[in-house]
Structure 1
Amino acid sequence: MDKVVIVTGGSRGIGAATSMLLALNGYAVCINYRSRNKDAELLADKITQQGGKVFCFCADVSKEDDVIRLFEAVENHFGRVTHLVNNAGILFTQSRLVDLTLARFNRVMSTNINSCFLCCREAIKRMSSGGAIVNVSSAAARSGAPNEYIDYAASKGAMDTLTKGLSLELAAQGIRVNAVRPGFIETEMHADGGEPDRVNRLSPEIPLQRGGKPEEVATAIAWLLSDEASYVTGTFIDVAGGK
Protein backbone atom coordinates (compact mmCIF):
# COMPACT_ATOMS: atom_id res chain seq x y z
CA MET A 1 0.00 0.00 0.00
CA ASP A 2 1.28 3.46 -0.89
CA LYS A 3 2.18 5.70 2.05
CA VAL A 4 0.45 9.07 1.67
CA VAL A 5 1.17 11.76 4.25
CA ILE A 6 -0.05 15.30 4.84
CA VAL A 7 2.36 17.62 6.65
CA THR A 8 0.54 20.74 7.82
CA GLY A 9 2.66 23.86 8.02
CA GLY A 10 5.05 21.96 5.80
CA SER A 11 6.80 24.80 4.00
CA ARG A 12 9.33 25.87 6.65
CA GLY A 13 11.19 24.79 9.76
CA ILE A 14 10.26 21.44 11.26
CA GLY A 15 7.51 20.94 8.68
CA ALA A 16 9.89 21.41 5.75
CA ALA A 17 12.51 19.09 7.24
CA THR A 18 9.82 16.48 7.87
CA SER A 19 8.40 16.77 4.36
CA MET A 20 11.84 16.26 2.85
CA LEU A 21 12.74 13.29 5.07
CA LEU A 22 9.43 11.51 4.52
CA ALA A 23 9.68 12.00 0.76
CA LEU A 24 13.15 10.47 0.80
CA ASN A 25 11.70 7.56 2.81
CA GLY A 26 9.18 6.76 0.10
CA TYR A 27 6.09 8.65 1.22
CA ALA A 28 3.93 10.59 -1.22
CA VAL A 29 3.96 13.95 0.56
CA CYS A 30 1.45 16.78 0.60
CA ILE A 31 3.09 19.99 1.75
CA ASN A 32 0.30 22.06 3.26
CA TYR A 33 0.86 25.79 3.67
CA ARG A 34 -1.27 28.85 4.34
CA SER A 35 0.67 31.76 2.84
CA ARG A 36 4.23 30.67 1.99
CA ASN A 37 3.64 29.63 -1.61
CA LYS A 38 7.21 30.29 -2.79
CA ASP A 39 8.75 28.36 0.12
CA ALA A 40 6.45 25.41 -0.53
CA GLU A 41 7.19 25.34 -4.26
CA LEU A 42 10.95 25.58 -3.72
CA LEU A 43 10.82 22.69 -1.28
CA ALA A 44 8.68 20.67 -3.69
CA ASP A 45 11.22 21.28 -6.45
CA LYS A 46 14.02 19.95 -4.22
CA ILE A 47 12.00 16.85 -3.39
CA THR A 48 11.16 16.24 -7.04
CA GLN A 49 14.81 16.59 -8.04
CA GLN A 50 15.62 13.78 -5.61
CA GLY A 51 12.96 11.50 -7.06
CA GLY A 52 10.28 12.10 -4.43
CA LYS A 53 6.53 12.36 -4.88
CA VAL A 54 5.19 15.70 -3.69
CA PHE A 55 2.12 17.91 -3.97
CA CYS A 56 1.59 21.40 -2.50
CA PHE A 57 -1.79 22.60 -1.29
CA CYS A 58 -2.77 25.96 0.19
CA ALA A 59 -5.25 25.68 3.06
CA ASP A 60 -5.86 27.38 6.40
CA VAL A 61 -6.15 24.25 8.51
CA SER A 62 -7.89 26.10 11.34
CA LYS A 63 -10.94 26.33 9.03
CA GLU A 64 -13.18 23.31 8.55
CA ASP A 65 -13.96 23.88 4.88
CA ASP A 66 -10.27 24.30 4.05
CA VAL A 67 -9.36 21.07 5.85
CA ILE A 68 -12.01 19.12 3.96
CA ARG A 69 -10.76 20.58 0.66
CA LEU A 70 -7.19 19.64 1.61
CA PHE A 71 -8.00 15.99 2.27
CA GLU A 72 -10.16 15.68 -0.83
CA ALA A 73 -7.42 17.19 -2.98
CA VAL A 74 -4.78 14.82 -1.61
CA GLU A 75 -7.06 11.83 -2.15
CA ASN A 76 -7.63 12.88 -5.76
CA HIS A 77 -3.90 13.41 -6.32
CA PHE A 78 -2.28 10.50 -4.45
CA GLY A 79 -5.04 8.30 -3.09
CA ARG A 80 -6.14 7.60 0.48
CA VAL A 81 -4.27 9.42 3.25
CA THR A 82 -2.42 6.94 5.47
CA HIS A 83 -0.30 9.23 7.65
CA LEU A 84 -0.64 12.73 9.11
CA VAL A 85 1.75 15.20 10.73
CA ASN A 86 -0.03 18.04 12.54
CA ASN A 87 2.70 20.66 12.52
CA ALA A 88 0.86 23.92 11.73
CA GLY A 89 1.20 26.43 14.54
CA ILE A 90 1.67 30.09 15.38
CA LEU A 91 2.90 32.24 18.20
CA PHE A 92 3.08 35.98 18.70
CA THR A 93 5.35 38.46 20.44
CA GLN A 94 6.52 37.47 23.92
CA SER A 95 4.09 38.65 26.57
CA ARG A 96 2.82 38.04 30.09
CA LEU A 97 -0.72 36.71 30.39
CA VAL A 98 -2.02 39.92 31.97
CA ASP A 99 -1.22 41.76 28.75
CA LEU A 100 -2.81 39.25 26.36
CA THR A 101 -5.96 40.06 24.45
CA LEU A 102 -8.76 37.53 24.02
CA ALA A 103 -8.42 37.93 20.26
CA ARG A 104 -4.78 36.82 20.38
CA PHE A 105 -5.52 33.92 22.73
CA ASN A 106 -8.37 32.72 20.54
CA ARG A 107 -6.27 32.92 17.39
CA VAL A 108 -3.44 30.88 18.91
CA MET A 109 -5.86 28.26 20.18
CA SER A 110 -7.78 28.16 16.90
CA THR A 111 -4.69 27.71 14.76
CA ASN A 112 -2.80 25.33 17.01
CA ILE A 113 -5.49 23.06 18.44
CA ASN A 114 -8.52 23.44 16.17
CA SER A 115 -6.31 22.58 13.20
CA CYS A 116 -5.08 19.46 14.98
CA PHE A 117 -8.62 18.39 15.81
CA LEU A 118 -9.96 18.98 12.30
CA CYS A 119 -7.08 17.24 10.53
CA CYS A 120 -7.21 14.28 12.90
CA ARG A 121 -10.94 13.94 12.31
CA GLU A 122 -10.62 13.94 8.53
CA ALA A 123 -7.63 11.59 8.61
CA ILE A 124 -9.46 9.06 10.81
CA LYS A 125 -12.35 8.92 8.34
CA ARG A 126 -9.89 7.73 5.70
CA MET A 127 -7.67 5.38 7.74
CA SER A 128 -10.01 2.41 7.56
CA SER A 129 -7.19 -0.15 7.60
CA GLY A 130 -4.78 1.51 10.01
CA GLY A 131 -2.50 4.52 9.90
CA ALA A 132 -0.40 6.83 12.03
CA ILE A 133 -0.68 10.40 13.25
CA VAL A 134 2.06 12.49 14.84
CA ASN A 135 1.19 15.77 16.52
CA VAL A 136 3.94 18.36 16.87
CA SER A 137 3.49 19.66 20.39
CA SER A 138 6.16 21.57 22.34
CA ALA A 139 8.25 21.37 25.47
CA ALA A 140 6.30 24.53 26.37
CA ALA A 141 3.38 22.24 27.22
CA ARG A 142 5.49 21.03 30.17
CA SER A 143 7.10 24.33 31.16
CA GLY A 144 4.09 26.61 30.66
CA ALA A 145 6.35 29.19 28.94
CA PRO A 146 5.79 31.84 31.65
CA ASN A 147 6.39 35.49 30.78
CA GLU A 148 6.74 34.64 27.08
CA TYR A 149 4.23 32.33 25.40
CA ILE A 150 1.71 31.10 27.95
CA ASP A 151 -1.04 31.08 25.31
CA TYR A 152 1.10 28.98 22.96
CA ALA A 153 1.95 26.62 25.83
CA ALA A 154 -1.74 26.25 26.69
CA SER A 155 -2.55 25.29 23.11
CA LYS A 156 0.19 22.65 23.12
CA GLY A 157 -1.03 21.31 26.45
CA ALA A 158 -4.43 20.83 24.84
CA MET A 159 -2.74 19.05 21.94
CA ASP A 160 -1.06 16.65 24.38
CA THR A 161 -4.42 15.79 25.92
CA LEU A 162 -5.98 15.28 22.50
CA THR A 163 -3.07 13.03 21.54
CA LYS A 164 -3.48 10.81 24.59
CA GLY A 165 -7.24 10.52 24.39
CA LEU A 166 -7.31 9.91 20.66
CA SER A 167 -4.61 7.25 20.88
CA LEU A 168 -6.86 5.27 23.23
CA GLU A 169 -9.94 5.77 21.08
CA LEU A 170 -8.21 4.49 17.97
CA ALA A 171 -5.88 1.77 19.24
CA ALA A 172 -8.27 -1.07 18.41
CA GLN A 173 -8.58 0.28 14.84
CA GLY A 174 -4.84 0.02 14.25
CA ILE A 175 -4.40 3.79 14.10
CA ARG A 176 -1.48 5.03 16.21
CA VAL A 177 -1.38 8.57 17.59
CA ASN A 178 1.80 9.99 19.09
CA ALA A 179 3.47 13.36 19.60
CA VAL A 180 6.86 14.99 19.61
CA ARG A 181 7.65 17.88 21.95
CA PRO A 182 10.45 19.98 20.47
CA GLY A 183 12.37 22.30 22.75
CA PHE A 184 14.56 25.17 21.58
CA ILE A 185 14.85 24.42 17.86
CA GLU A 186 16.58 26.73 15.39
CA THR A 187 13.64 27.82 13.23
CA GLU A 188 12.16 31.08 11.94
CA MET A 189 9.34 30.88 14.50
CA HIS A 190 11.46 32.66 17.11
CA ALA A 191 11.48 35.73 14.88
CA ASP A 192 7.67 35.62 14.95
CA GLY A 193 7.94 35.98 18.72
CA GLY A 194 10.19 39.02 18.38
CA GLU A 195 13.53 37.40 19.31
CA PRO A 196 15.28 35.73 16.35
CA ASP A 197 18.33 34.87 18.48
CA ARG A 198 16.34 33.32 21.34
CA VAL A 199 17.85 29.84 20.96
CA ASN A 200 21.42 31.17 21.32
CA ARG A 201 20.44 33.18 24.40
CA LEU A 202 18.94 30.14 26.10
CA SER A 203 21.46 27.52 24.97
CA PRO A 204 23.47 27.67 28.24
CA GLU A 205 20.31 26.51 30.09
CA ILE A 206 19.98 23.40 27.90
CA PRO A 207 21.78 20.28 29.21
CA LEU A 208 23.19 19.55 25.74
CA GLN A 209 24.34 23.20 25.57
CA ARG A 210 22.87 23.92 22.13
CA GLY A 211 19.66 24.40 20.24
CA GLY A 212 18.22 21.63 18.12
CA LYS A 213 17.96 21.35 14.34
CA PRO A 214 14.64 20.87 12.51
CA GLU A 215 16.09 17.69 11.00
CA GLU A 216 16.52 16.20 14.48
CA VAL A 217 12.81 16.65 15.16
CA ALA A 218 11.95 15.31 11.71
CA THR A 219 13.85 12.10 12.48
CA ALA A 220 11.73 11.51 15.59
CA ILE A 221 8.53 12.18 13.64
CA ALA A 222 9.56 9.81 10.86
CA TRP A 223 10.26 7.04 13.37
CA LEU A 224 6.88 7.44 15.07
CA LEU A 225 5.14 7.23 11.69
CA SER A 226 7.10 4.17 10.61
CA ASP A 227 6.41 0.48 11.10
CA GLU A 228 9.45 0.41 13.40
CA ALA A 229 7.19 2.13 15.95
CA SER A 230 4.33 -0.31 15.39
CA TYR A 231 3.90 -0.95 19.15
CA VAL A 232 4.05 2.72 20.12
CA THR A 233 0.94 4.82 20.65
CA GLY A 234 -0.07 7.54 23.10
CA THR A 235 3.63 8.34 23.53
CA PHE A 236 5.48 11.66 23.68
CA ILE A 237 9.08 12.04 22.52
CA ASP A 238 10.80 15.12 23.95
CA VAL A 239 13.30 16.48 21.43
CA ALA A 240 14.60 19.15 23.76
CA GLY A 241 18.26 18.52 24.52
CA GLY A 242 17.45 17.26 28.00
CA LYS A 243 15.54 20.41 28.97
Structure 2
Amino acid sequence: MSEQGHVVLITGGSRGIGRATAELAASRGWKVGINYQRDAGAAGEAVATIQRAGGQALAIQGDVAIEGDVIGMFDRLAEAFGPVTALVNNAGIVAPASLLADMDVSRMRRVFDTNILGAYLSAREAARRLSTDRGGPGGAIVNVSSIASRIGSANEYVDYAGSKGAVDTLTLGLAQELAGRGVRVNCVRPGIIDTEIHASGGQPDRAWQRAGVIPLQRPGQASEVAAAIVWLLSDEASYTTGAILDVAGGR
Protein backbone atom coordinates (compact mmCIF):
# COMPACT_ATOMS: atom_id res chain seq x y z
CA MET A 1 0.00 0.00 0.00
CA SER A 2 1.43 3.36 -1.00
CA GLU A 3 0.35 6.68 0.47
CA GLN A 4 2.53 8.89 -1.71
CA GLY A 5 1.78 12.58 -1.36
CA HIS A 6 0.46 12.41 2.18
CA VAL A 7 2.11 14.53 4.88
CA VAL A 8 1.58 13.66 8.55
CA LEU A 9 2.53 15.46 11.76
CA ILE A 10 3.11 13.12 14.70
CA THR A 11 3.21 14.87 18.06
CA GLY A 12 5.50 13.17 20.56
CA GLY A 13 7.00 11.30 17.65
CA SER A 14 10.56 10.77 18.85
CA ARG A 15 9.99 7.63 20.92
CA GLY A 16 7.59 4.81 21.75
CA ILE A 17 4.31 4.65 19.87
CA GLY A 18 4.99 7.94 18.10
CA ARG A 19 8.31 6.79 16.69
CA ALA A 20 6.94 3.40 15.64
CA THR A 21 4.12 5.20 13.85
CA ALA A 22 6.54 7.58 12.14
CA GLU A 23 8.67 4.73 10.85
CA LEU A 24 5.71 2.70 9.62
CA ALA A 25 4.04 5.68 7.93
CA ALA A 26 7.31 6.60 6.22
CA SER A 27 7.70 3.04 4.95
CA ARG A 28 4.29 3.42 3.29
CA GLY A 29 5.37 6.58 1.47
CA TRP A 30 4.17 9.26 3.89
CA LYS A 31 6.28 12.35 4.52
CA VAL A 32 6.58 12.62 8.28
CA GLY A 33 7.00 15.47 10.75
CA ILE A 34 8.36 14.18 14.07
CA ASN A 35 7.50 16.59 16.85
CA TYR A 36 9.48 16.48 20.09
CA GLN A 37 9.62 18.72 23.14
CA ARG A 38 13.09 18.18 24.65
CA ASP A 39 14.97 15.18 23.29
CA ALA A 40 16.48 16.44 20.04
CA GLY A 41 18.82 13.45 19.96
CA ALA A 42 15.98 10.91 19.92
CA ALA A 43 14.11 12.88 17.27
CA GLY A 44 17.25 13.07 15.15
CA GLU A 45 17.76 9.32 15.46
CA ALA A 46 14.18 8.70 14.32
CA VAL A 47 14.64 10.96 11.30
CA ALA A 48 17.96 9.30 10.42
CA THR A 49 16.39 5.83 10.63
CA ILE A 50 13.63 6.86 8.25
CA GLN A 51 16.03 8.51 5.83
CA ARG A 52 18.32 5.47 5.76
CA ALA A 53 15.32 3.41 4.72
CA GLY A 54 14.58 5.83 1.87
CA GLY A 55 11.80 7.81 3.57
CA GLN A 56 11.34 11.51 4.19
CA ALA A 57 11.12 12.99 7.69
CA LEU A 58 11.73 16.20 9.60
CA ALA A 59 12.27 16.75 13.33
CA ILE A 60 10.23 19.67 14.71
CA GLN A 61 10.68 20.98 18.25
CA GLY A 62 7.65 22.31 20.08
CA ASP A 63 5.47 22.08 23.18
CA VAL A 64 1.93 21.04 22.29
CA ALA A 65 0.56 23.01 25.26
CA ILE A 66 1.80 26.29 23.72
CA GLU A 67 -0.41 27.62 20.93
CA GLY A 68 2.41 29.32 19.02
CA ASP A 69 4.49 26.16 19.05
CA VAL A 70 1.62 24.12 17.63
CA ILE A 71 1.02 26.60 14.80
CA GLY A 72 4.76 26.63 14.13
CA MET A 73 4.92 22.83 13.86
CA PHE A 74 2.33 22.78 11.10
CA ASP A 75 3.99 25.72 9.35
CA ARG A 76 7.43 24.09 9.33
CA LEU A 77 6.11 20.78 8.07
CA ALA A 78 4.09 22.43 5.30
CA GLU A 79 7.10 24.49 4.22
CA ALA A 80 9.22 21.35 3.98
CA PHE A 81 6.83 18.87 2.40
CA GLY A 82 3.68 20.67 1.25
CA PRO A 83 0.16 20.78 2.73
CA VAL A 84 -0.33 18.67 5.84
CA THR A 85 -2.92 15.95 5.27
CA ALA A 86 -2.91 14.14 8.62
CA LEU A 87 -2.26 14.45 12.33
CA VAL A 88 -1.38 11.77 14.86
CA ASN A 89 -2.27 13.42 18.16
CA ASN A 90 0.10 11.35 20.27
CA ALA A 91 2.01 13.59 22.72
CA GLY A 92 1.23 12.68 26.30
CA ILE A 93 2.78 12.46 29.74
CA VAL A 94 2.23 10.55 32.95
CA ALA A 95 3.39 11.37 36.46
CA PRO A 96 4.49 8.96 39.23
CA ALA A 97 1.81 6.67 40.64
CA SER A 98 -0.26 8.40 43.31
CA LEU A 99 -3.65 8.54 44.93
CA LEU A 100 -5.67 11.55 43.83
CA ALA A 101 -5.77 12.64 47.48
CA ASP A 102 -1.99 13.03 47.41
CA MET A 103 -1.66 14.85 44.07
CA ASP A 104 -0.68 18.51 44.06
CA VAL A 105 -2.26 20.91 41.63
CA SER A 106 1.00 21.55 39.74
CA ARG A 107 1.16 17.88 38.79
CA MET A 108 -2.43 17.88 37.57
CA ARG A 109 -1.87 21.06 35.56
CA ARG A 110 1.16 19.53 33.82
CA VAL A 111 -0.75 16.40 32.87
CA PHE A 112 -3.86 18.28 31.74
CA ASP A 113 -1.93 20.97 29.85
CA THR A 114 -0.10 18.40 27.74
CA ASN A 115 -2.70 15.66 27.43
CA ILE A 116 -5.87 17.75 27.08
CA LEU A 117 -4.98 21.29 26.01
CA GLY A 118 -2.16 19.98 23.81
CA ALA A 119 -4.45 17.48 22.12
CA TYR A 120 -7.18 20.06 21.56
CA LEU A 121 -4.77 22.70 20.21
CA SER A 122 -3.20 20.21 17.82
CA ALA A 123 -6.60 18.95 16.65
CA ARG A 124 -7.86 22.50 16.23
CA GLU A 125 -4.92 23.44 14.03
CA ALA A 126 -5.37 20.29 11.97
CA ALA A 127 -9.08 21.05 11.55
CA ARG A 128 -8.28 24.55 10.33
CA ARG A 129 -5.75 23.33 7.78
CA LEU A 130 -7.29 20.08 6.56
CA SER A 131 -10.98 21.05 6.24
CA THR A 132 -12.02 21.29 2.61
CA ASP A 133 -14.42 24.17 3.32
CA ARG A 134 -11.42 26.22 4.51
CA GLY A 135 -9.36 25.43 1.43
CA GLY A 136 -7.61 22.39 2.86
CA PRO A 137 -6.93 19.06 1.17
CA GLY A 138 -9.01 16.92 3.52
CA GLY A 139 -7.36 14.09 5.39
CA ALA A 140 -7.35 12.25 8.71
CA ILE A 141 -6.73 12.77 12.41
CA VAL A 142 -5.91 9.92 14.76
CA ASN A 143 -5.98 10.72 18.46
CA VAL A 144 -3.99 8.47 20.80
CA SER A 145 -5.92 7.90 24.01
CA SER A 146 -5.46 5.07 26.51
CA ILE A 147 -7.45 2.17 27.91
CA ALA A 148 -7.01 4.12 31.17
CA SER A 149 -9.92 6.31 30.07
CA ARG A 150 -12.20 3.28 30.42
CA ILE A 151 -10.74 1.66 33.55
CA GLY A 152 -9.85 4.79 35.56
CA SER A 153 -6.30 3.81 36.68
CA ALA A 154 -7.21 3.84 40.38
CA ASN A 155 -4.27 4.10 42.80
CA GLU A 156 -1.95 5.11 39.98
CA TYR A 157 -2.93 7.80 37.48
CA VAL A 158 -6.54 8.96 37.73
CA ASP A 159 -5.41 12.35 36.40
CA TYR A 160 -3.89 10.70 33.33
CA ALA A 161 -6.98 8.53 32.88
CA GLY A 162 -9.23 11.58 33.04
CA SER A 163 -7.11 13.42 30.51
CA LYS A 164 -7.48 10.52 28.10
CA GLY A 165 -11.23 10.51 28.66
CA ALA A 166 -11.17 14.04 27.26
CA VAL A 167 -9.34 12.73 24.19
CA ASP A 168 -12.07 10.13 23.63
CA THR A 169 -14.71 12.86 23.79
CA LEU A 170 -12.69 15.08 21.45
CA THR A 171 -12.68 12.23 18.94
CA LEU A 172 -16.44 11.75 19.03
CA GLY A 173 -17.31 15.43 18.73
CA LEU A 174 -14.69 16.43 16.18
CA ALA A 175 -15.50 13.45 13.96
CA GLN A 176 -19.04 14.79 13.62
CA GLU A 177 -17.88 18.36 13.02
CA LEU A 178 -15.49 17.38 10.24
CA ALA A 179 -17.36 14.51 8.58
CA GLY A 180 -18.79 16.84 5.93
CA ARG A 181 -15.52 18.71 5.56
CA GLY A 182 -13.33 15.96 4.16
CA VAL A 183 -11.63 14.94 7.41
CA ARG A 184 -11.96 11.65 9.26
CA VAL A 185 -11.26 11.60 13.01
CA ASN A 186 -10.58 8.38 14.90
CA CYS A 187 -8.94 7.24 18.11
CA VAL A 188 -6.69 4.40 19.19
CA ARG A 189 -6.70 3.38 22.86
CA PRO A 190 -3.56 1.41 23.73
CA GLY A 191 -3.46 -0.79 26.78
CA ILE A 192 -0.22 -1.58 28.61
CA ILE A 193 2.47 -1.11 26.00
CA ASP A 194 6.17 -1.78 26.58
CA THR A 195 7.51 1.76 26.05
CA GLU A 196 9.54 4.36 27.92
CA ILE A 197 6.45 6.08 29.36
CA HIS A 198 6.48 3.70 32.33
CA ALA A 199 9.97 4.82 33.31
CA SER A 200 8.86 8.45 33.16
CA GLY A 201 6.18 7.52 35.69
CA GLY A 202 8.77 5.92 37.97
CA GLN A 203 7.98 2.29 37.09
CA PRO A 204 10.30 1.15 34.28
CA ASP A 205 9.25 -2.52 34.61
CA ARG A 206 5.53 -1.84 34.94
CA ALA A 207 4.56 -3.26 31.53
CA TRP A 208 5.79 -6.77 32.32
CA GLN A 209 4.87 -6.58 36.00
CA ARG A 210 1.23 -6.03 34.97
CA ALA A 211 1.18 -8.72 32.29
CA GLY A 212 -0.99 -10.98 34.45
CA VAL A 213 -3.99 -8.62 34.25
CA ILE A 214 -3.95 -8.72 30.44
CA PRO A 215 -5.95 -11.52 28.80
CA LEU A 216 -3.18 -12.03 26.21
CA GLN A 217 -0.72 -12.29 29.15
CA ARG A 218 1.80 -9.83 27.75
CA PRO A 219 2.21 -6.12 27.18
CA GLY A 220 1.82 -4.81 23.66
CA GLN A 221 4.58 -3.48 21.46
CA ALA A 222 4.67 0.02 20.02
CA SER A 223 4.66 -1.45 16.52
CA GLU A 224 1.30 -3.13 17.19
CA VAL A 225 -0.30 0.20 18.08
CA ALA A 226 1.39 1.90 15.14
CA ALA A 227 -0.21 -0.61 12.76
CA ALA A 228 -3.67 0.39 13.98
CA ILE A 229 -2.88 4.11 13.74
CA VAL A 230 -1.51 3.89 10.21
CA TRP A 231 -4.52 1.86 9.08
CA LEU A 232 -6.86 4.56 10.40
CA LEU A 233 -4.80 7.21 8.59
CA SER A 234 -4.85 5.30 5.34
CA ASP A 235 -7.34 5.21 2.50
CA GLU A 236 -8.21 1.67 3.57
CA ALA A 237 -10.18 3.22 6.46
CA SER A 238 -12.09 5.58 4.16
CA TYR A 239 -15.49 4.75 5.73
CA THR A 240 -14.26 4.87 9.33
CA THR A 241 -14.73 8.01 11.41
CA GLY A 242 -15.64 8.58 15.05
CA ALA A 243 -14.26 5.15 15.94
CA ILE A 244 -12.43 4.31 19.16
CA LEU A 245 -10.24 1.26 18.62
CA ASP A 246 -8.87 -0.55 21.67
CA VAL A 247 -5.41 -2.09 21.15
CA ALA A 248 -5.14 -3.53 24.62
CA GLY A 249 -4.67 -7.28 24.57
CA GLY A 250 -8.27 -7.95 25.57
CA ARG A 251 -8.57 -5.66 28.60
Give the TM-score of the pair, scaled to structure 1. 0.98
Question: Residue 208 of structure 1 aligns with which residue?
Answer: 216
Instruction: After TM superposition, give the deviation of residue 121 of structure 1 in Å.
Output: 1.1
Matched, 1:217 2:245: no
Give the TM-score of the pair, scaled to structure 2. 0.95
Counterpart secondary structure, 1:165: helix
Instruction: After TM superposition, give the deviation of residue 190 of structure 1 in Å.
Output: 0.4
Instruction: After TM superposition, give the deviation of residue 144 of structure 1 in Å.
Output: 0.5
Q: Is the 8 A contact 2:83 2:137 kept in 1?
A: no
Deviations 1:180-213 (A, max 9, x none): 0000000010011111111111111110010000
Instruction: After TM superposition, give the deviation of residue 118 of structure 1 in Å.
Output: 0.8
Instruction: After TM superposition, give the deviation of residue 124 of structure 1 in Å.
Output: 1.4
Matched, 1:45 2:53: no
Percent of aligned pairs sharing the same letter: 54
Instruction: After TM superposition, give the deviation of residue 159 of structure 1 in Å.
Output: 0.6
Please, which runs of 5 or more residues in structure 2 have no aligned partner?
Answer: 131-135
Matched, 1:84 2:87: yes
Matched, 1:8 2:16: no
Q: Is the 8 A contact 1:129 1:173 kept in 2?
A: no
Please, which runs of 5 or more residues in structure 1 have no aligned partner?
Answer: none
Alpha-carbon RMSD across the aligned residues, in angstroms, is 0.8
Structure 1's consecutive aligned runs of 4 or more residues displaced over 6 angstroms after TM superposition are: none
Matched, 1:149 2:152: no
Deviations 1:132-173 (A, max 9, x none): 000000000000100000000000000100110000011011
Question: Residue 136 of structure 1 aligns with which residue?
Answer: 144
Distance 2:13 2:207 in 1: 21
Task: Give the aligned residue type for 1:192.
Answer: S
Residues 106-185 of structure 1 aligned to structure 2 (within 5 Å)? 106-127=109-130, 128-185=136-193
Task: Give the aligned residue type for 1:236.
Answer: I
Counterpart secondary structure, 1:208: coil
Distance 1:125 1:166 in 2: 12
**Pairs aligned (count):** 243
